[in-house]
Structure 1
Amino acid sequence: MLWPGRGYSDCRGHEVANIWIVVSEGTICPITFVKNTLFPYALQALPDILRTKWDDPGFVKYRDAFPETARSSPEAFEAHVKDLSERDVKIAYLKNLQGYLWEEGYKNHVYSTPIYPDVLAAFDSWSSASSADAARKEIAIYSSGSIFAQKLLFQHIKDPAIPDDPKAILDRRDIIKAWFDTTNAGLKHEAGSYAKIAEALEQDQSDILFLSDNVKEVRAALEASMKAVVVDRPGNTPLSEEDRKGLDIIESFEYLDFS
């Protein structure tokens, strides 16, 4: 059902009622946006939040999800968040807090999501199946970021038609039909997480295509009997020759063939 060739990946196969395409955030926008923009913004915004909203009901639910030692004082809390962020720890209470902190930055037009040029056209094409299509295609997101943060990312897409206007954004949450993170699926490097996703989608693993910039994630999805392709994007970690062994690799969603 998948075979590589000159950057193309053929996704044709036996007829099914539906195909789910599960994508990782790193295939949609550069990981550098998360690491160099979102992560620093959260750390920059945190001290003011701790000073003004430590006991605010809107913040308390995030604060109280942290270990008791970390919430003993604002100073201890900030130190713990910085430590986890520097080590890029994939833990739910940190990811939920980051989404909370990022929301203000999105709303105030400090930043918006810089998606790759092929993404929206591909998503629109996949989700508008014609009668000639062998199967309808639905799109899901799987990220180590919280579902709330995922929705913010799709709610505040930089409008490619007006790239210089910080207030020109597109809300494309409508195109995503299912959202997965480490709380409802599990860690992205574990095959069992992909089995959970298939169960939640009520779909055979073999009828799900997973797209990721991360080789370990792709291998885990393959281990769970999904179809899986590495998307090698600018700004993401370069792939070594060892990484490339035995995997289908594309550089754009345009190279996926469902016809």
Structure 2
Amino acid sequence: MKYRALITDIEGTTSRIAFVTEVLFPYATEHLPDFIRNRQHQAEVALELTAIRQLMKQPEADIEAVITQLHRWIAADEKVTPLKTLQGLVWRLGYQQGHFTGHLYPDAAEQLKQWHEQGVQLYVYSSGSVEAQKLLFRYSDFGDLTPLFSGYFDTRVGAKRDISSYAAILQHLQLPPGQVLFLSDIAAELDAARALGMATCQLIREQQTPGDHNIAEDFYQVEI
């Protein structure tokens, strides 16, 4: 076995970009305002609202001002952690109510199972919250795949194009970087991981711009 651990991105790697942009994001945008209004006093929601007010530098901002700020971040596609967390909470309801299932490419589902059986430690690193990541794999088109994964990382460890983010992940894994393979469709993310000595492979599923990394058109072509 060449690698002891594999870290995979989601959007454009395990799953269609369109699933996020055409299903998840519009669903969250539509349902987020009423979700917040109705649940603003629940602990897990109130915690994120406090974080948003801190980012706004308006600790006394009312709930409508917070919602307006969230819509601004959504429109600008900002990777703001409390926004991502709230989106994940809204998606949880959507998954639980059967409004959609988590899209996975068949090759991704099959190979993740096979790699797990071979003893490879599997992790996810995505801009979406850990909650959102777990939901996608728990309610996937292929059933609950969360038992396959050893852990999840999101923007709490840092931005995906920052070298420091991968340093934090490696510290958590306690593995030499050369024993860790990172899969993503974005060359700049792979560049950051490779700067620390991690192995990399770029998924070219949807006409992504290739970098100078190993390339695979699907998970079957990824060499472990």
The SS at the match of 1:66 is helix
Distance 1:70 1:99, change over 3 A: farther
- For residues 70 and 25 of structure 1, do their structure 2 counterparts lie closer, same or farther at Cα, with a shift above 3 Å needed? farther
Secondary structure at the aligned position of 1:249 is classed as strand
* 1:98 to 2:87 alignment: yes
Aligned with 1:66 (options 52, 61, 74): 52
Q: How far is 1:58 from its partner?
A: 4.7
Out of 16, 20, 43, the position equivalent to 1:30 is: 16
Task: State TM-score, norm by structure 2.
Answer: 0.91
Give the C-alpha shift of residue 60 in structure 1: 1.6
Aligned to 2:69: 80
**SS of aligned partner of 2:200:** strand
Matches within 5 A, 1:1-259: 13=2, 19-26=4-11, 27-68=13-54, 69=58, 72-129=61-118, 136-159=119-142, 170-183=143-156, 185-234=157-206, 238-240=207-209, 243-244=210-211, 246-258=212-224
Letter in 1 for 2:199: K
Q: Please tell me whether the aligned partners of residues 71 and 77 of structure 1 are also in contact (alpha carbons under 8 angstroms).
A: no
The Cα shift of 1:71 comes to 6.2
Q: Secondary structure at the match of 1:46?
A: helix
- Distance in 2 (CA, whole Å) between partners of 1:192 and 1:22 is 16
C-alpha distance in 2 between matches for 1:153 and 1:229: 22
Q: Which has the higher contact order (CA 8 A, sep 6+)?
A: 1
- 3-state SS, counterpart of residue 210 of structure 1: strand
Q: 1:215 to 1:154 in 2, by over 3 A?
A: same
1:62, distance to aligned residue in structure 2 (A): 2.3
1:177 match: secondary structure = strand
**Alpha-carbon deviations, 1:107-157, whole Å to 9, x = none?**
11111111101012101111112xxxxxx4111000111111111111110
Identity, % of aligned positions: 30
Q: Is the 8 A contact 1:212 1:230 kept in 2?
A: yes
| Cα distance between partner residues in 2 of 1:175 and 1:214 | 24
Give secondary structure in 1 for the equivalent of 2:183.
strand
Gaps of 5+ in 2: none
3-state SS in 2 of match to 1:200: helix
Contact 2:202 2:214 in 1 (8 A): yes
Number of aligned residue pairs: give it: 220
